[in-house]
Amino acid sequence: MKKVNLAVVGATGMVGRTFLKVLEERQLPIENFYVMASSRSAGSTLTFNGKEYVVEELTEHSFDKPIDIALFSAGGSTSEKFAPIAAAHGCIVIDNSSQWRMDPEVPLVVPEVNPEDIAWHKNIIANPNCSTIQAMVALKPLDDKYKIKRVVYSTYQAVSGAGLAGWKDLENGLKGEAPKKFPHPIANNCLPHIDVFLDNGYTKEEMKMVNETRKILHNDNMRVTATTVRVPVFDSHSESINIEFEKPFDLDELIETLRNAPGVVLQNNSQENEYPLAINAAGHDEVFIGRIRRDESVESGVNLWVVADNIRKGAATNAVQIAEEIIKNMQ
Ligand SMILES: NC(=O)c1ccc[n+]([C@@H]2O[C@H](COP(=O)([O-])OP(=O)(O)OC[C@H]3O[C@@H](n4cnc5c(N)ncnc54)[C@H](OP(=O)(O)O)[C@@H]3O)[C@@H](O)[C@H]2O)c1
């Protein structure tokens, strides 16, 4: 496999540090490796594959050197400014922020779901929102078979989804300290508020789920609604997903379809109290699905409980899988 020069931008953050772990685990063929962040952490060091790397400050000149792939996780405004600079230098950017996701010129990719979209990139590829990624892995095989008509998402999202600051709010909140990141205490609480509120009364996180689902499944008319909730859990997002189909289905066959779907682990044995749990999904790359049951209130519908590590499959692992696809096609 061809060796590439690879940079991680935002390497000191929650997602960035996980990038380093996942890149090590999956042994990507890397020639030269660069870690970048803001001036705040420039000069500090990070260990990768047993070697120390000095964090460089991200500047307009960071991509003057030959870099084949850059994994960005440094926020929307950083991506807005620096992804086009990297792309203009011939570097393929895989971006974790929401900046480019709905740009019609930018593919939005979950490798198990729409790897074919990678082909039309113009040097920027967007990684979907964490809560969207895990839902897509569950929805795609069912859409292929039974054609989805409508989806209702209700999420239970971990504080790590709000970066290091979100994590600290829960850690400190459990000791009685006031929140700094969230508008209300997250300890012993549930906040029906992720990202900013929009004019239609939804939060931006909710509309990300709606719009990204349609883009990834290539169906602008799919009816989708969402309520996204921050819960006092450190790692892994849990989601209740209610799906209505165009076609009828056999429940056993639907369960087998999910069991055989790429990236899925089925935990669907309620009799034994076996169902996906945030604490068990944490640290893993798969999407865990259970509580599969017919929605008896509609003609053809099903309910799922879907859990995944939001920093791994919801961010770093998904982006690294995209990088693997790109490297495969570089031969
Ligand atoms: N957490 C999640 O579940 C998740 C999931 C999917 C996508 N994302 C996205 O990934 C991005 C990072 O999230 P996170 O949770 O890792 O946040 P985080 O823990 O707060 O880390 C932010 C990172 O961005 C760097 N950064 C900030 N401003 C910068 C600038 N002007 N130039 C260069 N680097 C800069 C920081 O560097 P310093 O150390 O120098 O401050 C740090 O490395 C966000 O866009 C987020 O929306 C997060």
Structure confidence by residue, pLDDT tens digits, 214-223? 999 999 999 9
Residue 326 CA, distance from chain mean position: 18
What's the CA-to-centroid distance between 37 and ligand 1, angstroms?
A: 9
How does residue 209 score in pLDDT terms, banded at 50, 70 and 90?
Answer: very high
pLDDT > 70 fraction of the chain, expressed in percent and rounded: 100
Residue in the block written with tokens 């971006």: 95
Which residue of 46, 63, 73 sits with most ligand 1 atoms within 8 Å of its CB, as the best mutation to test the pocket? 73
Q: ∠ at Cα 108 (83, 25), nearest 5°?
A: 80
Going by alpha carbons, the residue nearest to atom 30 of ligand 1 is 38
* Range list for CATH 3.40.50.720 in the chain: 4-127+315-328
Among 185, 165, 187, residue whose Cα is nearest residue 232: 187
Does the C-beta of 20 come closer than 6 Å to ligand 1?
no
CB atoms within 10 A of CB 19: 29
How does residue 47 score in pLDDT terms, banded at 50, 70 and 90?
Answer: very high
pLDDT > 90 fraction of the chain, expressed in percent and rounded: 98
Q: Considering the chain, what is the average pLDDT of its residues? A: 97
Does the C-beta of 110 come closer than 6 Å to ligand 1?
no
Q: Which H or E run contains 121? A: none
pLDDT at 2: 85
**Which tokens in the block code for residue 32?**
């030269």
Does the C-beta of 14 come closer than 6 Å to ligand 1?
yes
Residues 309-320 have a mean pLDDT of 98
Does the C-beta of 319 come closer than 6 Å to ligand 1?
no
Residue in the block written with tokens 């074919």: 116
What fold does the segment set 4-127+315-328 form as a domain?
A: Rossmann fold (3.40.50)
Does the pLDDT value for residue 265 go beyond 80? yes
The verdict on whether 284 is a catalytic residue reads no
DSSP code for 186: -
Does the C-beta of 316 come closer than 6 Å to ligand 1?
no
Rounded Cα–Cα distance for residues 164 and 119 (Å): 34
Rounded Cα–Cα distance for residues 245 and 326 (Å): 34
On whether the 131-310 domain is CATH 3.30.70.80, my answer is no
Backbone angles phi, psi at 151, to 5 degrees: -130, 135
The verdict on whether 237 is a catalytic residue reads yes
Q: Which of 121, 184, 193, 237 is catalytic?
A: 237
Pick the atom of ligand 1 nearest to 55's CA: 40
Residues 237-257 have a mean pLDDT of 98
Tens of pLDDT, residue by residue over 118-159, are 999 999 999 999 999 999 999 999 999 999 999 999 999 999
CA-CA-CA-CA torsion for 169, 174, 175, 180, nearest 10 degrees?
20
Question: Which residues participate in the annotated binding site for NADP(+)?
Answer: 12-15, 40-41, 160-161, 310
How does residue 195 score in pLDDT terms, banded at 50, 70 and 90?
Answer: very high
How does residue 7 score in pLDDT terms, banded at 50, 70 and 90?
Answer: very high
Does the pLDDT value for residue 191 go beyond 90? yes
What's the CA-to-centroid distance between 135 and ligand 1, angstroms?
A: 23
Pick the atom of ligand 1 nearest to 162's CA: 1
* Range list for CATH 3.30.360.10 in the chain: 131-310
The pairing of beta strand 148-157 with beta strand 237-245: antiparallel
Rounded Cα–Cα distance for residues 113 and 215 (Å): 12
At residue 267, the 3 state secondary structure works out as coil
Which residue of 8, 9, 12, 15 sits with most ligand 1 atoms within 8 Å of its CB, as the best mutation to test the pocket? 15
pTM for the whole structure: 0.96
Q: Which of 89, 130, 193, 218 is catalytic?
A: 130
pLDDT at 26: 96
**Which tokens in the block code for residue 167?**
């994590």
Does the pLDDT value for residue 331 go beyond 70? no
pLDDT at 87: 98
Residues 275-286 have a mean pLDDT of 98
Among 305, 276, 279, 319, residue whose Cα is nearest residue 69: 319
Q: Which H or E run contains 129? A: none
Among 44, 13, 58, 62, residue whose Cα is nearest residue 163: 13
